[in-house]
Amino acid sequence: MKQRIILWISLMAIAVGASAQNRIDRFVDNESTIGQSKFTSVVERDPQTREVVRVVKVRELSRGIDINACLEKFEAEQKAGRYTHKVENGERHTIVLAVEGERQNRIYMLQYTGNRPMQATDGKATIVIRMK
């Protein structure tokens, strides 16, 4: 019975970590298809094996509502990894969430300028996925 409980708790912990990453990933991917933003995706491969080494996705955010929605996703997932929020010159916000996984490490970064996310007019959400 103890083994089943431990197994169940382990599976739930894995599912929570995966959902944290999926929320931010889904936000960036879904919003990139709407056409309201600029989206760039780059895949780096090992030239000899052709295996993916790193993936970088960047979504430029131009509306305050998008920046605020993205910020909410970051804040909801801040316990999924190492979370930092820095403010430069009282206006330039940089939020980083680093999540270490078994097969890959992910870095999520949100940058925007302004005192409040809803009033910001420029922002950028970046996802870096590094394969192990």
The confidence score (pLDDT) of residue 110 equals 95
- pTM, 2 dp: 0.76
Q: Residue with structure tokens 């431990």?
A: 6
Rounded to the nearest 10 degrees, what angle do helices 64-76 and 2-34 cross at? 170
- Tokens at residue 13, please? 């912990």
Cα angle 103, 130, 75 (rounded to 5 degrees) comes to 90
Domain that holds residue 37: 2-131
The confidence score (pLDDT) of residue 34 equals 62
The confidence score (pLDDT) of residue 105 equals 93
The per-residue pLDDT string of the chain (132 residues; one tens digit each, 9 = 90 and over) reads 555 555 445 444 444 444 445 677 777 766 556 656 688 889 999 999 999 999 999 988 888 888 888 899 899 888 889 999 999 988 899 999 999 988 999 999 999 998 888 888 789 999 999 998
The confidence score (pLDDT) of residue 118 equals 82
Q: How many domains does the chain have?
A: 1
